[in-house]
Amino acid sequence: MENKITINTDIVEGKINKNIYGHFAEHLGRGIYEGLWVGEDSSIPNTNGIRNDVLEALKKLDIPVLRWPGGCFADEYHWKDGVGPRSNRKRMVNTHWGGVVENNHFGTHEFMMLCDMLGAEPYINGNVGSGTVQEMSEWVEYMTFDGESPMANWRRENGKKDPWKLKYFGVGNENWGCGGNMRPEYYADLYRRYQTYVRNYADNQIYRIAGGANVDDYHWTEVLMREAHHLMDGLSLHYYVHPGGFWNKGQAVNFKEEEWDITMQKTLYMDELITKHSTIMDKYDPEKRIGMIIDEWGAWYDVEPGTNPGFLYQQNTIRDAVIAGVHFNIFHQHHDRVQMANIAQMVNVIQSVILTEQDKMILTPTYHVFEMYKVHQDAEKIALNIDTNTIQKNGQSYPHISASASKKDDTVHISLCNLDKEQSASLSVDLRGMEVNKVNGRILTANEMNAINTFENPENVSPTEFTEYKQVGNHLNIELPSKSIVVLSIKP
Ligand code: AHR
């Protein structure tokens, strides 16, 4: 059967929040240190300590928002250790991630500077698990208060006269696990208490994000919404794709054919999770005021052989690119509830967009998907109906094609993923409500299901022009290669 898509370009369903294209950078492995921060005295070319090659590559993604400092690290982080002259900063142990020394050289000022360089909104995650209410409250005061106060004065002494603008603040992370092993009833009460002292100074309005559920813990969402919905702006959700399960995740590159199929199936599970958690949120928030904040997502495999198991360093294949494309299409579909998503993580950790090795850097296949899809940021989601074949392999079943469409300034963008690793897909697209005049396309694909970019061959998987389509009036006949991601740009 031929796959069919109908797009009604004049039926606007809502806006795709650009924050869906957000990132996450934790003090973990070589994510911050080496990946982003090399220090001003490094031989690696840098601007105020941030490496130039990574910075320039990240700028091209138009990153809307960046979450920091964790993750599990957030609930062990004491922000006061990371301000003031760097030579005086406390050296501590990063107990959660590899037991290495954390010298606190990358702290609040450095993070805010990075966000500024990237043009990204900062999203700071506070410490509930091992921090006090006072500590959290003072961090917000330090960053955002303009008047006379101990924290604002200290910020000025540390070289920042004016307060920063800070919108997104997370009150704890994974408090059901590394953030304190709490029950939802207990965390809900702590959330209510801690968030009270996350103050809005002057016109700085904070969007408060409560720590949400792990995967399918619907009870957590139910309790948090029941007890605290009136005090939150966002509720998080974490879900990682582990082809082999949490304890034996599977390999990033040398995986078997059936692992591809399992991975696709597990990627699509995100749709079910969002739907079910949303249904619970709808009960307490039918107007959908509260955003679902998927502030950790991605494919998480076993670490690369020979690397520190606590550093979570993994390679990235064309499979990861398909995973990213499918996730974005799902997030678009749930544009009314999903207001932010942050891939885990930005550089050198889990499903990264960039990998580094000393002074060398490569862009991963996932990077290219972020770059190709950025046209959807803050665009109008338009109605798309898809009739696709089902792939059935190795006991798994999933759609051959995933798709999404949006409109910005009269240009329509269609993103298409072929989830199958072997078969191309014939696809017919009908565009209604516009005259199709100019069509352009880009494709990311590879011959092998585990194709990667390496430091020796950095361009192995990179986007090229897509020409496998025929236009007849408002109709497109497309041949979508196996394991591919295509973004079409259609102008009237
Ligand atoms: O992203 C790695 C870890 O995964 C984060 O620190 C934690 O929040 C999650 O379990």
- The model's pLDDT over 397-427, given as tens digits with 9 standing for 90+, comes to 999 999 999 999 999 999 999 999 999 999 9
Nearest CA to ligand 1 atom 6: 71
Mutate to test the pocket of ligand 1, among 174, 217, 314 (most ligand atoms within 8 A of CB): 174
Beta carbon of 259 within 6 Å of any ligand 1 atom: no
Nearest to 429 by CA among 467, 383, 472, 475: 475
Cβ neighbours of 26 (radius 10 Å) = 28
Cβ neighbours of 446 (radius 10 Å) = 22
- Report pLDDT for 430: 97
Which of ligand 1's atoms lies nearest the C-alpha of 177?
10
**Contact, 398 vs 268, CB < 8 A?**
yes
Q: Is 287 labeled as catalytic in the residue annotation?
A: no
Would you say residue 471 has pLDDT above 90? yes
Mutate to test the pocket of ligand 1, among 296, 345, 347, 350 (most ligand atoms within 8 A of CB): 296
- Report pLDDT for 2: 85
Nearest CA to ligand 1 atom 4: 71
pTM of the predicted protein model: 0.97
CA of 374 to the centre of ligand 1 (A): 25
- The token duo for 52 is 């130039």
Q: pLDDT for 323-356, tens place per residue?
A: 999 999 999 999 999 999 999 999 999 999 999 9
Cβ neighbours of 455 (radius 10 Å) = 12
Nearest CA to ligand 1 atom 7: 71
Q: pLDDT for 51-100, tens place per residue?
A: 999 999 999 999 999 999 999 999 999 999 999 999 999 999 999 999 99
Q: pLDDT for 140-161, tens place per residue?
A: 999 999 999 999 999 999 999 9
Q: Is 296 labeled as catalytic in the residue annotation?
A: yes
**Contact, 342 vs 123, CB < 8 A?**
yes
- Provide the residue type at 24 as one letter: F
- Binned at pLDDT 50, 70 and 90, residue 363 comes out as very high
CA of 389 to the centre of ligand 1 (A): 35
- The token duo for 320 is 């990861």
Beta carbon of 71 within 6 Å of any ligand 1 atom: yes
CA of 71 to the centre of ligand 1 (A): 5
CA of 350 to the centre of ligand 1 (A): 10
Q: pLDDT for 230-252, tens place per residue?
A: 999 999 999 999 999 888 899 99
Q: pLDDT for 160-217, tens place per residue?
A: 999 999 999 999 999 999 999 999 999 999 999 999 999 999 999 999 999 999 999 9
- Report pLDDT for 167: 98
Q: pLDDT for 259-272, tens place per residue?
A: 999 999 999 999 99
Beta carbon of 74 within 6 Å of any ligand 1 atom: no
CA of 302 to the centre of ligand 1 (A): 14
Helix residue ranges per DSSP H, 23-132: 52-59, 108-118
